[in-house]
Structure 1
Amino acid sequence: MSTDPETSVPPSRTGARPQPRTAVANPDGIELAPYTIPQVPAIGWDPASSPRRRWIARALLGAVLAIQAALSLRLLAAAHPDEAAAMVAGRQQLAHLLHGTPVTTDLVDRIPGSPWLYPPLAGAAADANGIWGARLLSLGFGLLTTVLLFSLTRRLFNERVAICAIAVYAVLQSTVVVGFYAAPESLAVLLVALAAWATMFTARRHPALVLLAAPAAALACAVAYSAVFAIPALVVLALATAWPHRPIGPAALRALLLAAGTAVLLLPYGTLGKAAGFSPAHGHAPGSAGSILLGTVQWGGLFTVLAVAGTIAYARREQMNEHDAPDRDATPTSRAQRALLGTTLTATALLVPAAHLWTGTSGALFRHLGYGMLLAAPLAGVGLTRLVGAHFRHPQLGILVWVAVLALGMEQSALRYQNGPDSGRLLTVLRVHATPDGRYLTEVDGLAEYYLGSVSRPEQWVSARAGTDYRDAAGAQHHGDDGSVAAIRDGWFTMVVLDSTAPGPTDRALSAALDTSGHYRLIAQFTSPTGDSGTYKVYLRH
């Protein structure tokens, strides 16, 4: 038996690598015609299967959305003070817009964003179906965010990376909780996703079209001041997505146009100057550096490691199994371009905890992490696909990582709703002692105003975090914490409710005033069953 030496075919017009042609001999000595060994693609699909691939991707998207909704809907608990504050303020803002009714509650100062944007939506949803209505509104925002993330990642890479990205994003603690939490961040994250999608959608078009993303970016910052964390990433994303398709000059022009357009829209409102809306002065609990770092690692550590690994792997090598599909006009990218894109998307996941470390606040960290997780999710998808390998070489590794992220997200989201003192028992005590003519000072903003509407009015409840305007018997006028202390000293309030997670200086001043005034006695105290959260104390005037 003999064989001829291998021969080669000339290179194809597309520049593909020449394939060897091998002559095959049979046992009878009759030589068959030579055949060509086809090249195995780096990705596991055929251009002809594009419609089928899209339908499979959409089916998987639907499955991920169902999982996300199920994880959020299982979180059943009474309203958190922040949720109650948003609904009470929203109802009054809505009544003012529709009927001109005066806004009497001071909870509008507790909203970490414009009181005229998200709160009226939450108020309308609460009027329709109570706390469930407001939370279902947030769930709708969360599911739309996941859909936009899928589309964004598919445009950046392909369907496989998009499915991996939303699979890990949808089960994160921040995604699950904010998706069923009546707070402005649920809408703000959706608007950030819309701005990122619009930035990517216009990457190959005229640079001026990037201004289509500016309204969504500006509106996100107005809805929740914390959304300003995402603006730098969106601006650099405008450059990173256009650079592979056009010279660096026009690509940089896109970034400048987006930054200028967003700033111009925000200047009349002054949102950029209100970016400290998550500081202790705006009602979010202070936290130590250790607690902030621990929360960041617990809630997003594994996800961030996956995104960083995806960034490094993508910067080193592009042509694996997440580049553009064969039926697209793929544009080669340099290592610098890939590094810029990956670093831009991943950096926000590190920027958010850094900002909280700078301000020393931890109360809303679990909500603010959502901005970084959203933008880093495409690179987390890359990291997961690289871990699995081409042609699903190591699917068990991807399943292991996803199950770990899922287990963490389920446990942490459940603890988020269980942590904290028993608000149900607190409301029982307040309902017994509330009267139509009483005056109440509370650090637990929103709960009493929302749940005790039948026995009190919102204006009877004064937020200790906003302070009190009080004139004492001598005619001296007091404001802020000084006003609250003076009113307690004179026994002006009927009841005082303290929360140990409130801003430290205010809580210490009120506690000292209650201990020395002689007008109040402690009638109830409720501590978190897990021992790692705050304590409610209720003081009643003699």
Structure 2
Amino acid sequence: MNTDSDFPPVPRSRSAHGSPAHGQTTEPEPDPTGSRTAVAVDNPDGVDLAPYTIPPVPAIGWDPGASPRRRRIALGLLGAVLTVQAALSLRLLAAAHPDEAAAMVAGRQQLAHLLHGTPVTTDLVDRVHGSPWLYPPLAGAAADANGIWGTRLLSLGFALLTTVLLYSLTRRLFNERVAICAIAVYAVLQSTVVVGFYAAPESLAVLLVALAAWTTVFTARRHPALALLAAPPTALACTVAYSAAFAVPALMALAFACARPYHRVGPAGLRALLAALGTLVLLLPYGTLGKVAGWSPSHGNAPGSAGSILVATLQWAGLFTVLAVAGTIAYARREQMNEHDAPERDAVPTTRGLRALLGATLTVTALLVPAAHLWTGTSGALFRHLGYGMLLAAPLAGVGLTRLVGAHFRHPQLGILAWVALLALGLEQSALRYQNGPDSGRLLAVLAAHTQPQGRYLTEVDGLAEYYLGSVSKPEQWVSARTGTEYRDGAGVQHHGDDGSVAAIRDGWFTMVVLDSTAPRATDRAVSEALSTAGHYRLVAQFTSPTGDSSTYKVYLKH
């Protein structure tokens, strides 16, 4: 029920003596307290009846009382959304992608080093853009337990916990209705579905960002010092995946925006300052702050034109972003539906400025992530990085969906239409994402046929051969072209990086070279030119993506 629900006046007629006519009711008369409306009923049979009263209309969208029935319904809907999300992710059956394979191989070696002191011999540790001691060992343990399925199920667990935290923090910001709409929208997005079944550190990093946001919202009314509780998950998220730095500005602003209705500007600003300082202090050890600050989307990711990045962003996040921005505008302009969940006695006055601040804080990251990829001209990990912005903007997308439906569910068909459109896009886009690379099965067959126990291999397809061909080769035999080669030529000159790869190819040092067109442009160009001029290698296989994009694998074998 909403405050804009008014009962229409009851028509009445009176007898000649001024009393109500037979079969009519009198005008409602307010009681002395003004909280209930007394209504006298005509009594045609002459029997004295006590007047009844109409209870007051609640001032929020849902009854503010925490009734067991309301909680059961909300938890049932939460379970239904989690089931749908898990089903969408579990249907994505495919071989490991190079990034997943690299994480598992590096993780296994890191885990063995932690447990048994075994030396780390693979250079795939540098392929994981985060601390090698956090996510990779978890991925390695899951891979040891159940291969790629174990690692992907670990990511699925992280994703489902993220959705639960999103529900809880949205409920605290608004109410159950908005929270259910927010998670229903978030759970079917391509980034959510894919990262929820993808062996990458972003799955854990997004969970930690959600935990930091939940902690910030949970402590908004309390002492400013409690804002420090959000610093550990924020710093840990940035350490697990450097890309989580996208969410840090929004988390700091959220510490101010969600506390401002309950505190003056000074204490609210102090909360944001304490959260920022706590995060910085925790990132200082081991040079982590420098790594996070120096990270950019261009590190190890495929190049992309501005047009392709914009098209991908519109396809993967366009409708969701429109819904979130519309929710922000509608919430800032009018709080008619009173999405706040606090009982009236605990309600705080909100102004248009405060509502606009909260909405902009939550939605800005959804626009920041594609802007950063446009600035750096890279698109390789865009589908994973969009998850940070979508997570934080989801509460306002929930507001947008509830406003679209309207008070008293006046237009449920509009909400259903918007959600079905998001579901259809998520289904198609997540399936294409798992088919968006060349045929790795055919590539592995070629590599297995030419792999030798004593061979040396340069590859831009990090991880696949090391993971699937572990029985016929060792990880140290495969050198990542993305990180470069340490090579000393016949004259005793030491070469590094791309120059080392070029010098080794010129001398015919590698047995086989594998190229991937999604590798960094400078590296791919340097290696390709060296192969064409060295005269030691011939092209034995080439596989183009079955979806028709420009991604291609090429395999060169030494004569």
Shared fold (TM-score, shorter chain, > 0.5): yes
C-alpha displacement at 1:48, in angstroms? 5.4
SS in 1 for 2:243: helix
Deviations 1:516-537 (A, max 9, x none): 1110000000000111141000
Kept after mapping to 2: 8 A contact 1:524/1:539: yes
Q: Which residue of 2 aligns with 1:521?
A: 538
The counterpart of 1:257, out of the listed 262, 266, 274, is 274
Give the residue type in structure 1 aligned to 2:243: S
Distance in 2, matches of 1:380 and 1:182, equals 27
Deviation at 1:439, TM superposition (A): 0.4
CA separation of 1:455/1:239 partners in 2, compared to 1, >3 Å: closer, same or farther? same
Task: Report the CA distance between 1:403 and its aligned residue.
Answer: 0.6
Give the count of matched residue pairs.
537
SS of the counterpart of 1:318?
coil
Q: Which residue of 2 aligns with 1:365?
A: 382
Tell me how far 1:324 sits from its aligned partner: 1.5
Match of 1:449 in 2: 466
Alignment of 1:69 onto 2:81: no
* Aligned mates of 2:108, 2:267 — CA distance in 1: 47
Superimposed CA distance per residue, residues 83-126 of structure 1 (whole angstroms, 9 cap, x where no aligned partner): 01100001111111111111110011111101111000000000
CA separation of 1:45 and 1:353: change in aligned 2, threshold 3 A:
closer
Q: Indicate how the Cα distance of structure 1 residues 44 and 483 shifts in structure 2: closer, same or farther if over 3 A, else same.
A: closer
Which residue is equivalent to 2:8? none
Q: CA deviation at 1:55?
A: 1.1
SS in structure 2 at match of 1:530? coil
Letter in 2 for 1:353: P
1:274-298 Cα deviation digits (max 9, x unpaired): 2454543x31111111111111111
Separation (CA, whole Å) in 2 of partners of 1:141 and 1:471: 44
Query: Percent identity among equivalent residues?
Result: 82
Unaligned 5+ runs, structure 1:
none
Residues in 1 aligned to 2:502 and 2:272: alpha-carbon distance in whole angstroms: 50
Alignment partner of 1:332 out of 349, 352, 355: 349
* 1:181 and 2:202 matched: no
Query: Distance in 1 between the 2:374 and 2:287 partners?
Result: 24
Question: Aligned match of 2:103 in 72, 86, 98?
Answer: 86
Superposed CA deviations along residues 190-242 of structure 1, whole A, max 9, x for unmatched, are 00000001111111111101111100000000000000110111111111111
Aligned equivalents of 1:12, 1:118: Cα separation in 2: 61
Partner residue of 1:304?
A: 321
| Distance change >3 Å, CA 35–CA 279, structure 1 → 2 | closer
Report the AA paired with residue 377 of structure 1.
A
| Contact preservation (8 Å) 2:98, 2:462 | yes
Correspondence 1:12 to 2:33: yes
Does the 8 Å contact 2:106/2:124 carry over to 1?
Answer: yes
**Matched residue type, 2:209:** V
Matches within 5 A, 1:125-136: 125-136=142-153
**For residue 162 of structure 2, what is the aligned residue in structure 1?**
145
Moved more, 179-188 or 350-359: 350-359
- The DSSP-based 3-state class of the residue aligned with 1:180 is coil
Q: Match for 1:537: what amino acid?
A: K
Unaligned runs of 5+ in 2: 1-12, 21-25
Helix, strand or coil at the partner of 1:127 = helix
Aligned with 2:302 (options 285, 307, 310): 285
Which position in structure 2 is the counterpart of 1:481? 498
Quick one: which of 267, 273, 285 aligns to 1:268? 285
**Aligned position for 1:205:** 222
- Give the whole-Å Cα distance in 2 for the aligned partners of 1:59 and 1:28: 49
The CA distance in 2 between the partners of 1:269 and 1:341, in whole Å, is: 35
SS of match in other structure, 1:244: coil
TM-score (norm 1): 0.95
Which one of the candidate residues 264, 271, 283 is aligned to 1:247? 264
- Amino acid in the other structure paired with 1:9: P
CA distance in structure 2 between the partners assigned to 1:92 and 1:260 by the alignment: 34
RMSD, aligned CA: 2.0
One-letter code aligned to 2:280: A
Please list, as runs of the form range in 1=range in 2, the aligned pairs for 1:314-463 lying within 5 A after superposition. 314-326=331-343, 329-463=346-480
Poorly superposed stretches of 4+, deviation over 6 Å: 26-34
Q: Look up the SS of the partner of 1:435 in the other structure.
A: coil
Provide the secondary structure at the position in 1 that maps to 2:479: strand
In structure 1, how many angstroms separate the alpha carbons of the residues matched to 2:235 and 2:375? 24
CA distance in 1, matches of 2:318, 2:349: 32
In structure 2, C-alpha distance between the alignment counterparts of 1:215 and 1:381, rounded to whole Å:
28
The residue correspondences of 1:81-120 to structure 2 (distance < 5 A) are 81-120=98-137
Do 1:420 and 1:533's aligned partners in 2 also have CA atoms closer than 8 Å?
A: no
Partner of 2:6: none
Is 1:154 paired with 2:175?
no
Return the alpha-carbon distance in structure 2 between the equivalents of residues 111 and 48 of structure 1: 48
